[in-house]
A = this chain, B = another copy of it.
Amino acid sequence: MWSEPQPFVVSVSVKTRGCDGYPDEDSDESYNLSVSEGQAVLRSVTVWGALRGLESFSQLVYQDDYGSVSIIVDFPRFAFRGLLLDTSRHYLPLHAILKTLDAMAYSKFNVFHWHIVDDPSFPYQSRTFPDLSNKGAFHPFTHVYTQSDVMRVIEHARMRGIRVIPEFDSPGHTQSWGKGQPNLLTPCYKGDVPSGSFGPVDPTVDTTYKFMESLLKEVKFVFPDSYVHLGGDEVSFACWQSNPNVRTFMEKMGFGKDFTKLESFYMERTSIVWQDVFDYHERVRLLPDTVLEIWKGETYQAELSRMTKAGHRVLLSAPWYINHISYGQDWRNSYAVQPQNFSGTEEQKKLVIGGEVAMWGEYVDATNLNPRLWPRACAAAERLWSDEEKTLNADLAFPRLEKFRCELLRRGIQAEPLFVGHCKHEYDGL
């Protein structure tokens, strides 16, 4: 005999308006959820907090037989909990991105860092410069993101309280840009003659700045987020050095032989940049509200210390480059990360605004994205949302993450197993 299902009332009250708003780094994501017999009450200051609370509520297996009451007061440890997808090394069809956003919401990620273009391909279909994708995408029709695709990603994300930060990485990582935009890249020289190959963006000519201004104006219009990630990483100076025009420009500007000054001259913008910009330009101008993202693995504690000492806000990504795989339970490493464990003052520690899981695309496309991301990314998500001490132990996390992985499967996310075992509802392989 089954008992009659009882009506269950969930009431949600949100203090401020903003259903049509866009989340930002100051968004209050805290919520207060109390569940008792026959009803749940969810209170939050903003709609974003309400979304997080509803997500938690959906994950509760509720038993009211004993009239149990549970009260959850929950809030994120870090305001920036990001995930990077790389759509240049391989093209990710729109549905793969939307599905990733769904799974991000289940894990309470709130920033989608869209590394949309890079050397191998330029899939962003620009209104101002359509040739960038016409000539720089893997295919001009099937391997591009149209304006309507981009809108759909942004709205799908917003409905889940997720910001979309696009990255247009320059002056390096721009080989694909050069195909659709003549005279943008620096011609490399072999001796006195151009070698036929091209280096980073040419920072010595006015046309470069006019182009970048127009492109970024469009990008800032299309993407509502206040951040645009401008990359700035891994700039090779060899090609610049080989080019006689660049050398003349260096002399004229009084940069001597210091090409980091040339990069700095180019990079002067307010935005998130990769750590290289700081490493090279500590004594050069870098606007104080630039957010720095740490990606180099071995020395990240030292970098955290130096950058926050200089007053910069930082994002930690290095230990969560989960495109790197190894055999076995490598998700355990993600639990060991302590973003605020570096030598520095309390003030410095507050400058760590969060972290980011990175899924670079050398070996990843829609065929293996989901099992490689999930549930491995959840470990970082938990570290970024929850209490530091309570989530540090991977052995204690194991049953929690295993259960959550089955929940992801039930919701149609192709999340891979942590170890031997089973879920009630398996992925059916179709």
Contacts and interface: CB of A to CB of B under 8 A. Distances in A.
A362 B363 CA distance: 22
A327 interface: yes
A363 B428 contact: no
Contacts of A417: 90, 363-365, 367-368
A99 B182 CA distance: 47
A363 B326 contact: no
Contacts of A422: 90-91, 121, 138-139, 143
Contacts of A424: 139, 142
Interface string A411-430: 00011111111101011111
Contacts of A364: 416-417
Interface residues of A, number: 49
A421 B143 CA distance: 11
A82 interface: no
A96 B429 contact: yes
15 contacts: A90-B420, A91-B426, A92-B429, A93-B428, A138-B421, A139-B424, A142-B424, A326-B327, A328-B363, A362-B419, A363-B418, A364-B416, A365-B417, A365-B426, A367-B370
Interface in A332-366: 361-366
B95 A427 contact: no
Interface in A138-161: 138-139, 142-143
Contacts of A370: 367, 429
A384 to B, nearest CB: 24
A231 interface: no
A164 interface: no
A120 interface: yes
A371 B191 CA distance: 46
Contacts of A115: none
Contacts of A327: 323-326, 363
A427 B365 contact: yes
A172 to B, nearest CB: 16
B99 A429 contact: yes
A414 B414 CA distance: 12
B95 A430 contact: yes
Q: Which of A89, A369, A371, A430 has the most CB of B within 10 A?
A: A371
3 closest A-B pairs by beta carbon, nearest first, are A96-B429, A368-B371, A366-B429
A91 B288 CA distance: 54
Given A99-B429, A367-B370, 14 more contacts: A91-B426, A93-B426, A95-B428, A96-B428, A120-B420, A121-B422, A323-B327, A328-B362, A363-B416, A363-B418, A365-B427, A366-B426, A368-B416, A368-B417
A79 B421 CA distance: 35
A115 to B, nearest CB: 13
A175 to B, nearest CB: 11
A90 B366 contact: no
A329 B362 CA distance: 10
Contacts of A429: 92-93, 95-96, 99, 366, 369-370
